[in-house]
């Protein structure tokens, strides 16, 4: 779209016309003596130019008058004579109000000259505010009815409010054209391809009427048959085009055929008439565009309704999913095993990485959808859409916040439970390891204390007692380790370990073995103590026998020893009294079988430690 440059050349032409009007009614300067030879020629030329100018002014007056009436008809006003009816400034003010669409200062009432001057001044001041350059024209010129200046003023108004606003679409949107050139380009574009129509100006190109007919046919081919027109029948073409424009299009007949079918038609008059065609067809196009726009608006309304229904449906689905998901993920029931909790954590991670992102994307799509709805409504100056209660983006965001809070709490709880299960698993593994060690130790010590290889003399039995005391000390110190296992079992049980029954059974087994071991140790000590007591008795007996033998050697004992022997020495010969290492009882045993040391057996003949 090329913006039209200010109509500087046209304004200059109008101002030149206004300036030339200053010499109207005055005598031309007297020629100097050396110019007398050409005076006659110049006088003829001046008279001819004046005649042509008068003809031009007549056509312009008629055209401008009709043009003004075509606009004043909107406010039920009209003028009869252009030069006299604008003098009071009232109709001039009305014309400017119609053209600009603005309200001018109210005209001063009264018919005196001063009132007319004031009203015309208001109109001229308004034009200056519209950046219309007025040169050599004042309110008194219009009030006095100056023909040329009045025509120049109207032409300036036409330029400003009818021609300067023309905009022509071209391929080069940066191209800048004058208003007249833009209008000429528009005419050329619309009549391109019509035979014998070649618009190069606003004068001779319009004389045959084909250009006017082509313009009408281009926009309304139903009201004019261009093929029946011929270039030679100019008057008919013009009359037919003007009548058709007036009757079918409602355009004021600003020109008559005789005004155009001349050697040099008045450019301003033709241009003024062509401008009326331009504005009418532009308005017609605008109405067509408006119709399309209304259809487009209706389509947009239907589209917005569909989008709105889609938004509400998607919002309902998302909110329903959130309300179902929150109770599901807030379920704090966990599997009572490490593998079970790990599976739950994997399922939760899958929810966070697969299912939830899709719903988050749906939430973002809802925001985009609502923004699209509001943008379309705003573009059409319609009231913005308000979602139903509970389905706004704010409501969705609040529900999503509750979901994320529940998700965070669930994740924290899962990870806490996972840590607890890992700790329990480590405790169970630690218990199993220690329990195996304790059971092995208990079995070995039970086997150890079940053996009674104490020996057959007092030193051996006392040595066995010392070893036994060492075993007791070791067992006593080992009780702390047994207690650790019991505490581990108790901790595992209190934490609700899933395999706590096995742990408790193993703990009970350890306790039973520990009790059995303590009983075996106690019984073994008893047997050792009995052996020691018996060995001490034997030791005393050995001492006694030695003493008695010593007395016999000295002759102090005689037959008494034999009597003590209960049958003599022969009754003890070949046997001895020894303690049983298994039962602690004392009984006879052959000396050569017992293989005991001399101090550990008593023969029947009274000798100690000697075989017979």
Ordered by start, the domain boundaries in the chain are 48-163, 179-299, 300-422, 424-552
Domain 424-552 grouped into CATH 1.10.10.1100? no
Beta bridge partners, 394, equal none
**Which residues make beta-bridge pairs with 587?**
578
- The secondary structure of residue 227, as a DSSP letter, is G
Helix (H/G/I), strand (E/B), else coil: 358: helix
Q: For the domain covering 48-163, report its CATH number.
A: 1.10.418.10
Q: Tell me the CATH number for domain 300-422.
A: 1.20.58.60
Task: Name the residue among 579, 453, 2 with its Cα closest to residue 589.
Answer: 579
Query: Which residues are bridge partners to 4 per DSSP?
Result: 177
Contact 532, 461 (CB under 8 A): yes
Sequence-separated contacts (24+) of 70-77 with Cβ below 8 Å: 70/251, 70/252, 70/254, 70/276, 71/95, 71/98, 71/99, 72/98, 74/98
User: How far is the CA of 528 from the CAs of 193, 268, 451, 596, in angstroms?
Assistant: 140, 150, 11, 20
Residue of 217, 274, 270 lying closest to 244 (CA atoms): 217
DSSP 588: E
CA–CA distance, 250 with 22 (Å, rounded to integer): 38
Residue 224 buriedness (CB in 10 A; 0-12 / 13-18 / 19+):
buried
Number of Cβ atoms within 10 Å of the Cβ of 545:
17
**CA 602 – CA 588 distance, rounded (Å):** 10
> CA–CA separation, 392 vs 5, rounded Å?
51
Are 254 and 272 contacting, i.e. CB atoms less than 8 angstroms apart? yes
- CA of residue 368 relative to chain centroid, distance: 8
Cα distances from 61 to residues 31, 55, 152, 310, in angstroms, run 33, 10, 10, 65
The answer to whether the beta carbons of residues 467 and 449 sit under 8 Å apart is: no
> Residue 360: is it exposed, middle or buried by C-beta count within 10 angstroms (0-12/13-18/19+)?
middle
| Whole-Å CA distances, 5 to 8, 9, 160 | 8, 10, 12
468-473 contacts, C-beta under 8 A, 24 or more apart: 468/521, 468/524, 468/525, 468/528, 471/445, 471/521, 472/521, 472/525
Query: Are 177 and 86 spatial neighbours (Cβ–Cβ below 8 Å)?
Result: no
The CA-CA-CA angle for residues 277, 283, 288, to 5°, reads 125
> Residue 216: how many CA atoms within 13 Å on its side-chain side?
27
Q: Give the burial class of 522: count Cβ atoms within 10 A of its Cβ; 0-12 exposed, 13-18 middle, 19 or more buried.
A: exposed
Residues 6 or more apart from 349 whose CB is under 8 A from it?
A: none
Q: Which of 179, 195, 187, 180 is nearest to 216 (CA)?
A: 187
CA-to-CA distance for 507 and 500, rounded, in angstroms? 10
**Residue 92 · residue 145 · CB < 8 Å:** no
pLDDT tens digits, 427-486: 888 888 989 999 999 999 889 888 888 878 888 888 888 888 888 888 888 888 989 988
Residues of the chain with pLDDT under 70: 1-52, 167-177, 555-612
The Cα angle at residue 302 between residues 297 and 303, in degrees rounded to 5: 90
pLDDT digit string (tens) for 112-129?
999 999 999 999 999 999
Q: How many CA atoms lie within 13 A of 31 on its CB side?
A: 11
What number of other Cβ atoms are within 10 A of residue 305's Cβ?
12
Sign of CA dihedral 251, 256, 262, 264: negative
Contact 584, 534 (CB under 8 A): yes
Q: Would 179-299 and 300-422 be classified into the same CATH topology?
A: no
- 28 conformational bin, left if phi > 0, alpha if psi -120 to 50, beta if neither: beta
- Cα–Cα distance measured from residue 71 to residue 74, given in angstroms and rounded to the nearest whole number: 6
Burial (CB count within 10 angstroms: exposed 0-12, middle 13-18, buried 19+), residue 514: buried
pTM for the full model?
A: 0.46
Identify the pLDDT of residue 453: 80
Is the distance from CB of 315 to CB of 366 less than 8 angstroms?
A: yes
Which CATH number is correct for 179-299, 3.30.310.50, 1.10.418.10, 3.30.565.10, 2.30.29.30? 1.10.418.10
SS3 content of the chain, % helix, strand, coil (to 5): 70, 0, 25
Dist CA 343 CA 392 (whole Å): 37
DSSP state of 526: H
Long-range CB contact pairs, 161-166, < 8 A, 24+: 161/99, 161/100, 162/99, 162/272, 162/275, 162/276, 162/279, 163/7, 163/10, 163/271, 163/275, 164/4, 164/6, 164/7, 165/4, 166/4, 166/275, 166/278
CA atoms within 13 A on the CB side of 237: 25
């Amino acid at each position: 779209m090329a913006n039209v440059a200010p109509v500087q050349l046209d304004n200059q032409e109008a101002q030149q016309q206004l300036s030339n009007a200053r010499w109207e009614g005055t005598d031309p300067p007297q020629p100097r003596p050396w110019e007398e030879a050409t005076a006659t020629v110049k006088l003829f030329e001046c008279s001819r130019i004046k005649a042509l100018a008068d003809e031009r002014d007549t056509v312009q007056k008629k055209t401008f008058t009709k043009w003004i009436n075509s606009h004043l008809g909107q406010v039920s006003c009209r003028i009869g004579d252009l030069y006299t009816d604008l003098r009071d400034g009232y109709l001039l003010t009305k014309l400017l109000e119609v053209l600009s669409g603005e309200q001018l200062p109210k005209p001063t009432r009264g018919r005196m000259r001063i009132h007319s001057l004031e009203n015309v001044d208001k109109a001229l001041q308004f034009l200056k505010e519209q950046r219309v350059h007025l040169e050599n024209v004042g309110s008194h010129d219009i009030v006095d009815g100056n023909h040329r200046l009045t025509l120049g003023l109207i032409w300036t108004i036409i330029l400003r409010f009818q021609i300067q606003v023309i905009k022509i679409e071209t391929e080069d949107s940066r191209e800048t054209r004058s208003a007249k050139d833009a209008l000429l380009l528009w005419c050329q574009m619309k009549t391109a391809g019509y035979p014998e129509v070649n618009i190069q100006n606003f004068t001779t190109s319009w004389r045959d009427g084909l250009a006017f007919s082509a313009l009408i046919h281009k926009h309304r081919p139903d009201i004019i048959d261009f093929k029946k027109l011929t270039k030679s029948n100019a008057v008919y073409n013009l009359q037919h085009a003007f009548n058709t424009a007036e009757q079918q299009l409602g355009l004021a007949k600003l020109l008559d055929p005789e005004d155009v079918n001349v050697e040099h038609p008045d450019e301003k008059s033709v241009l003024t008439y062509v401008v009326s065609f331009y504005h009418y067809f532009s308005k017609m196009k605008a109405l067509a565009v408006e119709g399309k726009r209304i259809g487009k608006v209706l389509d947009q309304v239907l589209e917005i309704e569909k989008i709105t229904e889609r938004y509400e449906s998607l919002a309902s689905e998302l909110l329903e999913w959130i309300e179902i998901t929150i109770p599901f993920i807030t379920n704090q029931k966990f599997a009572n095993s490490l593998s079970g909790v790990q599976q739950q954590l994997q399922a939760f991670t899958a929810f966070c990485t697969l299912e939830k992102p899709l719903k988050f994307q749906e939430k973002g799509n809802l925001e985009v959808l609502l923004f699209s709805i509001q943008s379309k409504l705003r573009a059409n100056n319609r009231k913005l859409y308000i979602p139903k209660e509970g389905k706004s983006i704010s409501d969705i965001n609040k529900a999503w916040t509750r979901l994320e809070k529940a998700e965070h709490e669930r994740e924290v709880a899962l990870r806490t439970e996972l840590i607890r299960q890992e700790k329990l698993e480590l405790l169970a593994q630690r218990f199993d390891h220690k329990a195996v060690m304790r059971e092995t130790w208990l079995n070995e010590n039970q086997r150890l204390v079940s053996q009674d290889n104490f020996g057959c003399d007092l030193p051996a039995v006392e040595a066995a007692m010392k070893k036994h005391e060492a075993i007791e000390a070791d067992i006593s110190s080992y009780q702390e380790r047994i207690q650790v296992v019991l505490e581990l079992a108790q901790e595992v049980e209190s934490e609700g370990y899933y395999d706590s029954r096995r742990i408790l059974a193993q703990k009970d087994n350890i306790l039973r073995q520990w009790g059995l071991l303590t009983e075996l140790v106690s019984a073994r000590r008893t047997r050792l103590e009995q052996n020691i007591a018996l060995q001490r008795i034997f030791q005393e007996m050995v001492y006694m026998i030695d003493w008695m033998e010593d007395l016999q050697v000295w002759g102090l004992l005689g037959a008494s020893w034999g009597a003590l022997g209960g049958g003599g020495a022969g009754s003890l010969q070949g046997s001895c009294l020894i303690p049983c290492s298994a039962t602690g009882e004392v009984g006879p045993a052959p000396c050569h079988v017992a293989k005991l040391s001399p101090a550990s057996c008593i023969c029947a003949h009274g000798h100690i430690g000697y075989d017979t």
